[in-house]
Amino acid sequence: MASTETPTHCPYCALQCGMKLRPAAGAAVAEVVERTDFPVNRGALCGKGRTAPAVLAAGARLTEPLVRDAVTGKLEPAGWDEALALVAGRLGGTRAEHGADAVGVFGGGGLTNEKAYTLGKFARVVLGTSQIDYNGRFCMSSAAAAHQRAFGLDRGLPFPLEDVSRTGCVILVGSNLAETMPPALRYLTELRENGGRLIVIDPRRTRTAEQADLHLAPRPGTDLALALGMLHLVVAEGRVDEEFVRTRTSGWDGARAGAMAHWPELVERLTGVPVPLLREAVEMFCGAGEGMVLTARGPEQQAKGTDTVGAWINFCLATGRAGRPLSGYGCLTGQGNGQGGREHGQKADQLPGYRKLTDPEARRHVAEVWGVDPGSLPGPGRSAYELLDALGRDVRSLLVMGSNPVVSAPRAGHIEERLRSLDFLVVADVVLSETAALADVVLPVTQWAEETGTMTSLEGRVLLRRQALTPPPGVRSDLEVLHALAGLLGHGKGFPADPEEVFDELRRASAGGPADYAGISYARIVAEDGVFWPCPDEDHAGTPRLFLERFATDDGLARFVPVTHRPAAEETDADYPVVLTTGRVVSHYQSGAQTRRVAELNAAAPGPFVELHPRLAERLGVSEGDPVAVTSRRGRAEAPARITTAIRQDTVFMPFHWPGEGRANTLTNPALDPVSRMPEYKVCAVRVEAAG
């Protein structure tokens, strides 16, 4: 491997910050070097990105396959040939005995486009199963569904982040950007320096909310009422952009009726946000010529997340803040390849290019690229939680690639039980995650700096991560694993292990689809700092800004969707009187499988905690650091108290990065959104007590 610096991107979140890697001697593996020429982060990184190479160091990662010993019940080192033969035999065996749909596949939004594409193809062509979904279902599926419904296309941000600093007003709903994408905070700072305004909606006064001109702190799970209440005021105060509504949208009457049923006093009662603040927010937003609404997991991870995002889109459309320069609705996608991961076929209902699995023309196109009969492609399968819930029953064997559901799935105690009840579990991972620890076979794979592949950032910008390091001798790439398994299962062709070869096939498979990558090549990505899809041919410049002329619906009009508020799936009562919400801290990533292996990050954030208001703490007789027990209808968790006035008195917050007794997901409610099948991570009812 070259000893010079390799320009690449961070292994973690959807911002995909640019960085350079310089191989280092000894245990450090590599040194992260600032890369100021990449426009999105201009050199800035958070602590996770800066320390990322530590996860690839010998002590942290897996270096040989592990197979569970039938006698001792322990995972023991094994050779690749033995491990792969066992996996192929058991997956093939399950299929022969119980049918193709008894084999499940669970992917991840951290996988490169090449891996996500190959995993979807492997499931549908080699295994012939419909039972594939991925952790992105837990992430942005509600925003994706709402995007599709309203705009006919789902790309997280329809504009580059740089537009955020030049608009007039941003409403940021349930995003704690300052902790979840720290270098992106710059765009909000610049917005305010340019005279723009920032409104943050979050039940907690987060580090992000502290930057705001106006902070609204609704009760968790009431965002839909809040958005409708603001739209009500837009109508009542005569602030509707009638011309825009007439020329660029359809369906306003239904949406308008939904909003009119949510008068301000009712909304105050539901959300806890005082009417004068609602009015101030509407005035601030409508008073600034251009405006954006950006949502993240706060309003989306609810059993009504799709309608909630729909209500915010209605708000943007009614005020004419969409499909115009420097205005629009956007979702801040989360995982490194959260965007690309949902475009190329690891989602239960999708084929590459963001095509629908139920669309005969899409099936024909993709089947032709794959060289199979369209009739052989299975139909849509179960969504992520429903798939995990079916383990050990309808689904008997499971391949996990790029997720750690033992920590991250809702009602995790139950899901852990389901995973244990499988006939056969195989996990491909970089580290021995809590899920890998339950497996019959663990396959150690390369990741990030050890391999090449493309990622699509939250802006819809397709980026190239280039191999910068030589992987340890005992590991293989996910693509090599799928290539070998396909071969053992009778598909010696069609599953190349070379990423660029896969990408060229992906380009053809996506051609003509909504997420069209046909004109994107590795060479172009490098030359142009990434290429925004859709990019249908090599002469096309890519599409940084969507919808300026028309929306992606058949008639080119954006669709209003009629929505009305409804309560959370589980409301507080005498037994469970407090609301639990969950989320993230700056130093850990997701299930923590990777970041909990980095000393510097553990020092900064050593373990779980329960954030609560001093009034609630006083009522419980709890002081800072005391152990607190949190109990829901799903189970009990325990963690030290962190007392702060930054949270509502009726709400507690737990980050979900840890397994064990402080696991937040022991408590969470798997109630699903009817459209997106997103679980309600952000709201459930709990009892909080001093533990001991």
Interface residues with ligand MGD (CB under 6 A)? 13, 108-111, 135, 138-139, 173-177, 179-181, 201-204, 206, 220-221, 223, 296-299, 301, 334-335, 401-405, 407-408, 428-431, 433, 445, 447, 478, 581-584, 586, 588-591, 593-594, 653, 656, 664-665, 668, 681-683
CA distance 586 to 100: 41
Measured from the CB atom, the residue of 281 and 445 that comes closer to ligand MGD is 445
Residue nearest to ligand SF4 (CB): 49
Measured from the CB atom, the residue of 13 and 426 that comes closer to ligand SF4 is 13
* Contacted entry of ligand SF4, Mo ion, ligand MGD, none for residue 506, CB cut-off 5 to 8 Å set by kind: none
CA distance 122 to 145: 25
Residue 233: strand, helix, or coil: helix
Measured from the CB atom, the residue of 8 and 335 that comes closer to ligand MGD is 335
* Contacted entry of ligand MGD, Mo ion, ligand SF4, none for residue 282, CB cut-off 5 to 8 Å set by kind: none
| Token code pair at residue 117 | 């594409």
Minimal distance, residue 426 CB to ligand MGD, in Å: 11
Measured from the CB atom, the residue of 109 and 264 that comes closer to ligand MGD is 109
Interhelix angle for 360-370 vs 499-510, to 10°? Answer: 150
What Cα–Cα distance (Å) separates residue 279 from each residue in 252, 286, 653?
A: 22, 11, 28
Cite the beta strand spans of 393-468 per DSSP E: 397-401, 424-429, 441-444, 453-456, 461-465
Minimal distance, residue 674 CB to ligand MGD, in Å: 18
* Contacted entry of Mo ion, ligand MGD, ligand SF4, none for residue 299, CB cut-off 5 to 8 Å set by kind: ligand MGD
Minimal distance, residue 181 CB to ligand SF4, in Å: 5
* Contacted entry of ligand SF4, Mo ion, ligand MGD, none for residue 402, CB cut-off 5 to 8 Å set by kind: ligand MGD
DSSP 608-643: --EEE-HHHHHHHT--TT-EEEEEETTEEEEEEEEE
| Token code pair at residue 446 | 């390369």
For residue 306, with 0-12 CB atoms within 10 Å meaning exposed, 13-18 middle and 19 or more buried, which class applies? Answer: buried
Partnered with residue 578 across adjacent β-strands are 686
Minimal distance, residue 8 CB to ligand MGD, in Å: 14
Minimal distance, residue 405 CB to ligand SF4, in Å: 21
Measured from the CB atom, the residue of 139 and 441 that comes closer to Mo ion is 139
Measured from the CB atom, the residue of 32 and 281 that comes closer to ligand SF4 is 32
CA distance 401 to 478: 8
18 in Cβ contact with 6 (< 8 Å): no
Minimal distance, residue 436 CB to ligand MGD, in Å: 7
Minimal distance, residue 373 CB to ligand MGD, in Å: 30
CA distance 230 to 236: 10
* Contacted entry of ligand SF4, ligand MGD, Mo ion, none for residue 323, CB cut-off 5 to 8 Å set by kind: none
Measured from the CB atom, the residue of 138 and 503 that comes closer to ligand MGD is 138
* Contacted entry of Mo ion, ligand MGD, ligand SF4, none for residue 445, CB cut-off 5 to 8 Å set by kind: ligand MGD
Minimal distance, residue 53 CB to ligand SF4, in Å: 12
Minimal distance, residue 338 CB to ligand SF4, in Å: 11
Instruction: State the pairing for strand pair 75-77/66-68.
Output: antiparallel
Contact residues for ligand SF4, defined by CB under 6 A: 10, 12-13, 15-17, 41, 45-46, 48-49, 181-183
Minimal distance, residue 56 CB to ligand SF4, in Å: 15
DSSP-H helix ranges across 465-544: 478-488, 499-510, 522-528
485 in Cβ contact with 122 (< 8 Å): yes
For residue 670, with 0-12 CB atoms within 10 Å meaning exposed, 13-18 middle and 19 or more buried, which class applies? Answer: buried
Q: Which of residues 128-157 bind Mo ion (CB under 5 A)?
A: 139
Measured from the CB atom, the residue of 41 and 665 that comes closer to ligand SF4 is 41
* Contacted entry of ligand SF4, Mo ion, ligand MGD, none for residue 45, CB cut-off 5 to 8 Å set by kind: ligand SF4
Task: Check residue 334 for interaction with Mo ion (CB under 5 A).
Answer: yes
Partnered with residue 638 across adjacent β-strands are 629
Cite the beta strand spans of 227-317 per DSSP E: 249-250, 291-295
